[in-house]
Amino acid sequence: MARIKLEESLEYLYDDIQPAMADAVKEILPEAEFESRLLFRAFLKAIGRRQHDWVNLPSNLVDSTW
């Protein structure tokens, strides 16, 4: 088992997650107009309200030898 700081980990992965999140919203709500950076920040804020600082991940999802 490994522990990560979820909100900080997602923020670290911003460049990978943010475009995919924007694409997903456009797919579901094609007429929606939004700033993808603000959407991602709101997402992180919501995560922060719902999660503890640390979350557990199964060891098979983490490669610490890389």
Is residue 6 situated within a structural domain? yes
| Total count of domains within the chain | 1
Assign 53 a pLDDT band (cuts: 50, 70, 90): confident
pLDDT for 43 equals 93
Q: How far is CA 57 from CA 6, 37, 42, 54, in A?
A: 10, 27, 23, 10
Residue 55 in domain: yes
Q: What does the pLDDT read at residue 52?
A: 79
Whether the CB-CB separation of 54 and 8 falls below 8 Å is answered with no
What single-letter DSSP state applies at residue 65?
A: T
The chain-wide mean pLDDT, for the chain, equals: 92
Sign of CA dihedral 25, 27, 32, 37: positive
Q: Could you give the C-alpha distances from 15 to 12, 58, 59, 65, in angstroms and in order? A: 8, 24, 25, 23
Q: Which domain holds residue 8?
A: 2-61
What confidence tens digit (pLDDT) does each residue in 17-47 have? 999 999 999 999 999 999 999 999 999 999 8
Residue 66 placed within a domain:
no
Q: What pLDDT, on a 0 to 100 scale, did the predictor assign at position 48?
A: 86
- pLDDT number for residue 38: 96
